Structure 1
Amino acid sequence: MGGEPPCGLTGSQAPFFCIFSALAPCVSFGLMMPRDLCFPSSSRIRMPLTSRGPLKHRLSEQFSGLWYVVSMVSDCKVFLGKKDHLLMSSRTIRAMPGGNLSVHMEFPRADGCHQLDAEYLRVGSEGHFRVPALGYLDVRVADTDYDTFAVLYIYKELEGALSTMVQLYSRTQEASPQAAKAFQDFYPTVGLPNDMMVMLPKSDVCSSAGKEAS
């Protein structure tokens, strides 16, 4: 690399963007991660996913509001190397024209609360998106009751390297037994084993007090 900044970035954001790669499937933001950090698997199957019931018309409005990412599972080596040090993050979702979603993300870190924004672009049916800014080819709301939990499936391909992530969203920082069961029942169906899963600890870094302190 010859002294080149990590992940090919310059400036103060470089360390954060590199570490953030642990939070998404070999992320992201169009960055070129080394090919060996993610690995394709024959068990990855791109298939239509179904929810607990028919996804409501205008899902973007039903899905809006604050969510916490309370658990996740992924086959990305970056994620697997850092998953035991990750903390609970949040998503604030706002409905956009055409069924798109504007998503504000907050990630607690040792050096403060890091914030990112991305637009989830609707692809055809309700609950199906792509996110070019994050390199996500396929994002699906696999299961949700809208009021308490959602299970999100994320699929990414970069230079031939594939990775899969499943995230459990909860309206509160304590996922219900129903939510946990929906998550645990789903991720094995896309080939992700239990040892790739982590329950994320709470953090107040991104609370109002935490932001002021940082």
Structure 2
Amino acid sequence: MSNELLKSIDTSTFEDTLYNEAKVTFPKMIAEYKAEKIYMLGFYHSGCYSYIFPIALTEADLLEKPKLRWFECDANHHCEYEEGTSEANELLSDFSEVIIYGDEFEDMDEDDIDDWDEEEDEKKVEAYYHFVEQSVANVFTRLEKEGIFDELGDRNSYILNLVCGDQSWEDKLNYAKRINPEPALTQLVSDVKSRKKENDIKLAKFMEQQEAL
């Protein structure tokens, strides 16, 4: 996807900024949470990439509530390292203000609104999402090459991911597939299938109830 759509923002330093902060923050998280057995390490974002911060999910989170696996917002350590990417977040805040939260539409007069290209605006947002997602994938690759995650042990015992609170199970899995070896995804694949089956059953029951009204 062309970065020409993002010419209104300077994206040149974001990946390196995120990489440099993550290179410092992730080892701290691994050292602190390793004994709890980390099964997911990655970044949590706002849903529209106005911010992003490191997050770890551990097996210890699930001792009392095993059904909360993959529920990032309910993780014990959800926001503990949100300052770990403060410089990257300054950039994202500026980016999203221009790309997503820009006030151009509110300032338009009637003639400008008639000429406003909604489709072009949507393409710009899509290009922004793609840029952030690819930058994060690149950061994960660079960190892996440097051995930042080696302390976690067997590479198939955990996944790296980019997640958010209202993310679909399919999106959660699809991004994970981009950056993890297939054997590491066994648990997530199984859980996504189970969740989909549960949702299908709930939907079928709801439709039956609606038809009975």
Say which structure is richer in strand: 1
- The reply to whether TM is greater than 0.5 is no
Q: Which structure is larger by alpha-carbon Rg, 1 or 2?
A: 2
TM-score in terms of structure 1 length: 0.28
Say which structure is richer in helix: 2
